[in-house]
Amino acid sequence: MLIGRVIGHVVATQKAHSHRGRKILVVQPLNLDGSDRGEAVLALDAVDAGVGERVLLTTEGFSAMTSVGRPNSPIDSAVIGIIDAVELIDGAR
């Protein structure tokens, strides 16, 4: 799993049947310090996240498919949680 920030959404009037009824979000993965980590990705939304929210992102195909209830679907990434807080313990790794 990764931490990310929702920075937008995709409007697709035609999409795979397995994607119907789900939002496609543009998510910027983040480092633990909140800085950007790599390129933004598209992810199917399983938790009704909105722009600006920090989220949990899975980028494993099987995990993404099953988390949105769409097994055997063409899904690479999914937003599976909305983050309320991140607490890092000093000295812990």
Please indicate, yes or no, if residue 58 is contained in any of the structural domains.
yes
* Cβ neighbours around 34 below 10 Å, total: 11
Please indicate, yes or no, if residue 88 is contained in any of the structural domains.
no
Please indicate, yes or no, if residue 47 is contained in any of the structural domains.
yes
Task: Say what the pLDDT of residue 64 is.
Answer: 75
The structure's pTM equals: 0.86
Please indicate, yes or no, if residue 82 is contained in any of the structural domains.
no
Instruction: Kindly report the CATH number assigned to the domain that includes residue 29.
Output: 2.40.50.220
Q: Which of 87, 31, 23, 64 is nearest to 5 (CA)?
A: 31
Condensed to tens digits (0 to 9), the pLDDT of residues 9-27 reads 999 888 887 777 789 999 9
Please indicate, yes or no, if residue 65 is contained in any of the structural domains.
yes
Condensed to tens digits (0 to 9), the pLDDT of residues 24-46 reads 999 999 998 899 999 999 999 98
User: Going by C-beta distance under 8 Å and a sequence separation of 6 or more, which residues neighbour residue 24?
Assistant: 9, 10, 12, 15, 42, 43, 44, 45
How much of the chain is in helix, strand and coil states, percent to nearest 5?
10, 35, 55
Task: Say what the pLDDT of residue 93 is.
Answer: 58
Instruction: Quickly state the pLDDT bin for 91 (edges 50, 70, 90).
Output: low
Q: How many domains does the chain have?
A: 1
Please indicate, yes or no, if residue 86 is contained in any of the structural domains.
no
Q: Which residue range is the domain that position 68 belongs to?
A: 2-10+21-77
